[in-house]
Amino acid sequence: MRKITRWLWLSIGIQFLAEGTLWASGSGGGISGDLLWQVVAFVILAFVLAKMLKKPMAAFLTKRRQEIGSSLDQASQKEAEAMKLMQDCEKKIESLSQEIKDLHETIRLEGEEERKRSINRVQEEVERVRKQAQIIAEHEVKKARAALKKEMVDLSAELAEKLLKETIQPQDQERLVREYIGKMKEIR
């Protein structure tokens, strides 16, 4: 409001100076009546405007100051909320980062456990196959021994028959037949 009053006085002063230069230039013999009434009307108008606009202007400026203060307070609150939200987000990010590390560790441990289980299964399977192969090998060895025994018996019988044929005489044959018949009679 003081600025408005200063501007009014300044404009009045400029008016008087302008009128003074006109009066000094010789165009007239003093201040004219019209000019005086214009100056008086202007001063009254300025005074009335200043009085009338003082309260509304003060109210407007006060209201504007309050609005600006309110806006600044709201901006401060929003900034505080944003900072809090940012801190919450940072905490969540940190928490998620820790969860990811924990998941990596869990996956690594589970993978290692699965690897150990796989190795144990493979070792058990190898042991089972080895035992099975050993049993099969022992069975084959027994089978081969039995076949060898049979072949040896057959060869021995053949060899014995051949030897008997070569060494037994007809008298020996008769004697063997009688002994065999005698043993058969005894058995009956």
Distance of CA 156 to the CA centre of its chain: 84
* Mean local confidence (pLDDT), 149-158: 78
Residue 1 pLDDT grade (very low, low, confident, very high; cuts 50, 70, 90): low
* pLDDT reading at 8 higher than 80: no
Q: 29: which DSSP letter?
A: S
Asked if 42 and 15 touch (Cβ cutoff 8 Å), the reply is yes
Q: 25: which DSSP letter?
A: T
Residue 6 pLDDT grade (very low, low, confident, very high; cuts 50, 70, 90): low
The first and second tokens of residue 83, run together, are: 């900072």
* pLDDT reading at 16 higher than 80: no
* Mean local confidence (pLDDT), 74-82: 94
* Mean local confidence (pLDDT), 14-26: 54
Asked if 184 and 176 touch (Cβ cutoff 8 Å), the reply is no
Asked if 9 and 50 touch (Cβ cutoff 8 Å), the reply is no
The first and second tokens of residue 40, run together, are: 């008086």
> Percent of the chain having pLDDT more than 90?
33
Per-residue pLDDT of 103-140, as tens digits, reads 999 999 999 999 999 999 999 999 999 899 899 988 88
In the block, residue with structure tokens 């100056």 = 39
The per-residue pLDDT for 86 is 92
* pLDDT reading at 23 higher than 90: no
Per-residue pLDDT of 93-104, as tens digits, reads 999 889 999 999
Q: Distance between CA 58 and CA 2 in Å, rounded?
A: 11
The first and second tokens of residue 85, run together, are: 């939200």
Instruction: Give the residue, 74 or 2, on which the prediction is more confident.
Output: 74
Q: What is the pTM of this model?
A: 0.37
The per-residue pLDDT for 140 is 87
* Mean local confidence (pLDDT), 63-86: 94
Asked if 4 and 61 touch (Cβ cutoff 8 Å), the reply is no
* pLDDT reading at 30 higher than 90: no
> Percent of the chain having pLDDT more than 70?
82
Q: How many helices (H) and strands (E) in the chain?
A: 3, 0
